[in-house]
Structure 1
Amino acid sequence: MDESSRLHDLYDHQILDSNPEKIFDELTYLASLICGTPISLFSLLDKDRQWFKSVYGIELKETSRADGFCHYLLDGATSLFEINDATNDPRFKDSPLVEGFPYISYYAGAPIKSASGNILGALCVIDQKPNSLNDHQKKALQILAGKATNYLKTRKALIDQQKNIELNASRLKQILDNTPGVIFQLRIQGDIDLSFDFISRGIEDIHPNLSDKKMKEQPRSFLQYIHPEDVMGFRQSIRKSASSLSLYKYNFRILSSNGKTKWYKVRATPQHIDQKTVVWFGTLMDVSGIMEYETILEQITFDISHVIRKPLTTLLALNSNLRNHDELNETDLREYSDMINIVIKELDVFTRKIDQFYQLKVADHQDRM
């Protein structure tokens, strides 16, 4: 027996010093009832003690492992260990558990094992006078110990599953917290009660006064950081989306601590949980750069429409004049040529400015990546 491995297995079950559980109390009750003994115990063997997960017929939480009987099952040599009269057995007659409380005379125990085969303890019955079990009672005690083993395995599997869930949840949270922008799950009940089931730490990048903790404690406090001109539209768009359960998209501004504004886009999918509750699964992204580019593109469009119109009009006029003159002397041609060169230079200067601006934006974008 590898005692180190056995103890590690026992501790991994997270059962020592845990609260009573009905399923184990039922097993000890059935063990006493079937075996006709006044006392039964579900014992787990720690390094230096016997700790009782369940007891029937006695008030006892633990005893010294060395003074007990159950550790004789640890070698796995028998499926049932029985002592008919401990007062006459040289191994036990001097034990304080025999000479004193609980005055053990009779003992029978069946091993309780882990999924890996380690013996963790025993389901045992005790009498304060000599006794013996018949074959049916012995078989029943072994069956009950097997049930205890199965319950422990199920309990351990649930603990492992919970650990995996918590680990995966922790890993997922780390991923979400390091994802650009904000990822959230918002719950709205009626039009009053707001609460964040989850919000990633990206909320801290929006404003120094915001945090995931604050959002969970004071979800409405977010509204005070929205630009005053956008608050009404923000509220109305939420109500509209909630009533229709349509995809929610809205652009709005946030007032930063230095007085400047940034543009953000919220995108969320609302879903009814019940008649009064809507849950939103969504993201919040900084789109200031996009809004800036859109503004620039609008300006470029304006410039193309208005600035280029003048030289194009001039070229069209020159072209018309050339078509209407049947004969042109050298002076006229030189004059037209000079005018065309002026227009070409104007267009060249304008296109160069657009190209320089584009190159600066490309370099700025690469620096941010």
Structure 2
Amino acid sequence: MTNRIERLNELDSYGVLNHKQDEELNDLAKIASLALNVPIAQITFVHDEFTFVKANIDVVSTESIPGRVKRRESFCHHSIKNPKETMIVNDASKDSRFINNPFVNSDPHIRFYAGKPLTTPAGNPLGTICVIDNKPRNLSLGEKQLLDILSKKIMAYLNNKRKLLNQENKIIDDALRLQNLTDRLPVGIFQLDKSNQNNLRFKFLNKTMKEMCPSVNTNKSSESIEILFSSIYPDDKNRFINHLNESFDNLSFSNIQFRIKKGNNCAWFAMKGNVERRTDGSKTFYASIRNIDNQIEYEKTLEQIAFDISHVLRRPVSSLSGLVNLVDTKEKLNKKELLEYIGLVKTVSTEMESYTRKLNDIYQKKKEIITNHNKSYT
């Protein structure tokens, strides 16, 4: 006795309960019909409430058996109770299990039925391959062996198909995980394809690209490059396009800084990436884009520090240097002159300390501005 839940779970894992036609199963059912000389041959899968007819070869019935039937009206429901045996009903009109069955008392007027369960490697019967006739008959030993062979062929096909299905599902799951991962990165990531006709199309965009470039629509994976070009600050656009074309032409590493419009303002970004040539001659650009406003602001701050040191502190430093030179020319200093020079040194020192404090206040404010700016992009 098989476990009901386990059997149903394994049946679902094969992905056969859909409305798509399967030519391979149809062909195997047709072989059964021709080889056993019966008008009807089916491949069925028994679920909880319904039996699904996946392949149906019916050459005489005026009304085909529907794509699914109620399980309690299904002959195959009885067949799967003994997964290792072929169930044979010689005359259904005389079998207590089927006397009141609608498929016995009306079209297709089933009399003969033989069903071999389709059993998984785990021992769970999924359904049957069965042959049906509207007149009583029996199966020879050779005909039973043929049903056995066909059932094994069907399961071999279904097992291979399930492996492919599992691989496809794994690829889809991996792609979703990768998408979720890239969407959480603080940098924009994209794949840009260039056809042999020089058409540029985005093949992949992560969510961060939408946040960086308002014109980018991440719901359309094959958008034109124009959605990025339209976001670039006008003064940087031609330089960016020329750089991108050069990377594609030379298959060279890309490294460029440019600005993207942010309402009435703009923000600095850096793009890095590589170009690969495909076997068909087309090219693919894999790249990342990140906001570098903080880096630009930091570089400006360093330049300001250098300017301040060079200009603001120049006067007190020059004053100290002059005092040193003046003292150096004196062979001997009296007490009055010494006190005077000390006073001058104190004045210069006080002035330098005042300048230093002002610089520190300025840079502290700049640091706060940079920190607040970075938070706005996280």
Whether TM exceeds 0.5 here: the answer is yes
2:46 paired residue number: 45
Q: Which residue among 91, 105, 109 is the counterpart of 1:103?
A: 109
What SS is found at the alignment partner of 2:284?
strand
Match for 1:86: what amino acid?
A: A
Contact 1:110–1:123 under 8 Å retained in 2: yes
User: Structure 1's 160 and 77: CA in aligned 2 closer, same or farther, altered over 3 A?
Assistant: closer
2:211 paired residue number: 205
- Cα deviation for residue 190 of structure 1 reads 5.0
- Report Cα offsets for 1:108-153 as digits up to 9, x if no partner: 1110134543222100112333333222321221121122123223
2:284 paired residue number: 279
Contact 1:114–1:152 under 8 Å retained in 2: no
Match for 2:191: what amino acid?
A: Q
Match for 1:146: what amino acid?
A: K
Q: Which residue among 289, 298, 317 is the counterpart of 2:322?
A: 317
CA distance in 2, matches of 1:116, 1:205: 50
- Report Cα offsets for 1:195-250 as digits up to 9, x if no partner: 11111121332355544236744430221221111111101111111122222111
2:132 paired residue number: 126
1:303 paired residue number: 308
1:289 paired residue number: 294
Contact 2:33–2:131 under 8 Å retained in 1: yes
State whether structure 2 residue 341 is matched by structure 1 residue 344. no
- Report Cα offsets for 1:166-216 as digits up to 9, x if no partner: 233223222222221311111122574221111112133235554423674
User: Structure 1's 117 and 250: CA in aligned 2 closer, same or farther, altered over 3 A?
Assistant: same
- Cα deviation for residue 282 of structure 1 reads 1.6
User: Structure 1's 314 and 203: CA in aligned 2 closer, same or farther, altered over 3 A?
Assistant: same
What SS is found at the alignment partner of 1:262?
strand
Q: Which residue among 250, 266, 274 is the counterpart of 2:271?
A: 266
Q: How does 1:23-62 map to 2 (within 5 A)?
A: 23-58=24-59, 59-62=64-67
User: Structure 1's 328 and 249: CA in aligned 2 closer, same or farther, altered over 3 A?
Assistant: same
- Cα deviation for residue 54 of structure 1 reads 0.8
Most deviating of 248-257 and 136-145 = 136-145
- Report Cα offsets for 1:307-365 as digits up to 9, x if no partner: 33333333333222222221223333233323322332232223323333444455566
CA distance in 1, matches of 2:333, 2:346: 18
Aligned length: 368
- Cα deviation for residue 275 of structure 1 reads 5.6
Q: Tell me the TM-score normalised to structure 2 length.
A: 0.86
Contact 2:83–2:118 under 8 Å retained in 1: no
CA distance in 2, matches of 1:295, 1:91: 90
2:123 paired residue number: 117
Q: Unaligned 5+ residue runs, structure 2? A: none
Q: Tell me the TM-score normalised to structure 1 length.
A: 0.88
Match for 1:283: what amino acid?
A: S
Contact 2:213–2:228 under 8 Å retained in 1: no
- Cα deviation for residue 101 of structure 1 reads 2.1
Match for 2:314: what amino acid?
A: R
- Cα deviation for residue 366 of structure 1 reads 6.5
Match for 1:197: what amino acid?
A: K
State whether structure 2 residue 168 is matched by structure 1 residue 159. no
What SS is found at the alignment partner of 1:279?
strand
CA RMSD of aligned residues (A): 2.7
Most deviating of 287-296 and 153-162 = 153-162
Match for 1:307: what amino acid?
A: V
User: Structure 1's 273 and 328: CA in aligned 2 closer, same or farther, altered over 3 A?
Assistant: same
What SS is found at the alignment partner of 1:263?
strand
What SS is found at the alignment partner of 2:72?
coil
State whether structure 2 residue 8 is matched by structure 1 residue 7. yes
User: Structure 1's 362 and 302: CA in aligned 2 closer, same or farther, altered over 3 A?
Assistant: closer
CA distance in 2, matches of 1:100, 1:301: 99
